Chains A and B, each alone.
Chain A
Amino acid sequence: MYSAAVIVSWRVSESAVRYRGVLRGFTESMGPPARGTLTVDREEVAVEDGRRDSGRWPHLAVRAIQASSSSLQLSLPDDRLVQLRFLDDSPRRWEELIRHLVAEAYERAGRGRVVEFQPRIVTR
């Protein structure tokens, strides 16, 4: 099992980006940050920050994984998005670790080889 201290932010909404009244796209608004813990093992990933959205998810339930500048984003079931800023570790290292464990879980479940982890997990 691996764990790290993180600053946790959950997506609370998405807002439209417009230029001269024309819709260009959307961007996510993250909620207030809180100190928490990210834990991963062979079976699941857990985010605990003492708030309602905290929880544990089996690797097969993770929808996407990506490092974004100095943080890691996980897309989770029920349209949840969590952003994790590491206090004393590298987001890239954690991205690689979680991707490795998710890929292993897909292979163990006979769901194929993961070829892409964002914007969604794609297998072959």
Chain B
Amino acid sequence: MSWYTVFRLVAKWSTRALTRMEVSGTANIPRDGPFFLVANHLSTLDPLMVQGNCPRRVHFFAKSTQFTASRAFHWFLTNVSAIPARRYRVDAQAVRTALRALEHGDGVGIYLEGERSWDGTLQPFRRGAVRLLLKPGVPVIPCGVAGSYEAWPRWTRSPRRVRVSLRYGEPIHFGVHDTRPDRDRALDAAAEQLRVVISDLARPSGA
């Protein structure tokens, strides 16, 4: 059993113990082949929930400063396939690593807002992140998280046991956009489509 599988199982069951979680739409995740998984980001719990409940290996972008937090966390992040992304510059190596993971048939995960929400609302998507989704022509699985902000916002030290919902949506196919001008032309419409879909998936349970 790989470290990734161990992480996935621990993440899945620990977040189910910490919150009252409802998960739906895992059948939308492709059984094989490359894909992008994109989600909104409200809380520290999100990576545990989104990756923990995804049956496939996902290489998630993580901010590079997390890799320097401690040696143990560096080891952990590299073993759960995190991709260090420097947020203060255009990080070509992070993009290369993501495209290599897709070529290998794995999933690549991106929080399109680029950071955790400060107030529980969906923030603007990073243009570079949406541009990356348009390049390889692989299916994009949208994922919406609701309730994790109430469970564990930035400024609290421990989570509260509240209702959290995690929904994986149907794949979106943007097609291949080989050139930068192609991607730039499609960017605004793709970002808007993703915003609508993720907002809907991230609506609170019962809303």
Seen from chain A, the residues whose Cβ lies within 8 Å of a Cβ on chain B are 14, 17-19, 23-30, 63-64, 66-69, 73, 75, 81, 92, 115-116, 118-120, 122
Q: Using Cβ atoms and an 8 Å threshold, which residues of chain A touch B118?
A: 92
Q: A115 with B94: in contact, given A24-B84, A25-B85, A28-B65 (CB under 8 Å)?
A: no
* CB pair A26 B64 closer than 8 Å: yes
Q: Which residues of A contact B115 (CB under 8 A)?
A: 66-68
9 other A-B residue contacts (CB within 8 Å) besides A27-B67, A63-B89, A75-B88: A26-B84, A28-B68, A63-B88, A66-B87, A67-B115, A68-B65, A68-B115, A116-B127, A119-B90
* Whole-angstrom CA separation of A86 from B81 in the bound complex: 32
Between A and B, 17 residue pairs with Cβ closer than 8 Å are A17-B74, A17-B78, A24-B97, A25-B84, A25-B85, A25-B93, A63-B89, A64-B88, A64-B89, A68-B65, A68-B115, A69-B65, A75-B89, A116-B127, A118-B87, A119-B87, A119-B91
B interface with A by C-beta (< 8 Å): 63-65, 67-68, 74, 78-79, 81-91, 93-94, 97, 114-115, 118, 126-128
Bound: A28/B68 CA distance, A: 8
Residue of A nearest to B85 (CB): A25
Inter-chain residue pair count (beta carbon < 8 A): 82
Q: How far is the CB of A43 from chain B (nearest CB, A)?
A: 23
The answer to whether B86 and A26 have CB atoms under 8 Å apart is: yes
Most chain B beta carbons < 10 A, residue from A17, A24, A28, A66? A24
Q: Considering the complex of A and B, which 3 residue pairs feature the smallest CB-CB distances, nearest first?
A: A25-B84, A27-B64, A27-B67
CA gap between A122 and B93 in the complex, in Å: 20
User: Which of B67, B85, B91, B126 has the largest number of chain A CB atoms within 10 A?
Assistant: B67
Identify A115's interface contact among B91, B93, B127, CB under 8 A.
B127
How far is B91's CA from A73's CA once the two chains are assembled, in angstroms? 16
User: Contacts A19-B78, A28-B65: A120 and B89 contacting too (C-beta < 8 A)?
Assistant: yes
Contacts of B68 in A (CB 8 A): 27-30
Q: Is the CB of B114 within 8 A of A118?
A: yes
**A17 to chain B: which residues have CB within 8 Å?**
64, 67, 74, 78, 84
- B106 CB to nearest chain A CB (Å): 13
Q: Which residue in chain A gives the minimum CB-CB distance to B59?
A: A24
Provide the residues of chain B in CB contact with A23, threshold 8 Å: 93, 97
Please, which residues of chain A bring their CB within 8 A of the CB of B86?
A: 14, 25-28, 119
* B126 and A27 form a contact (CB under 8 A): no
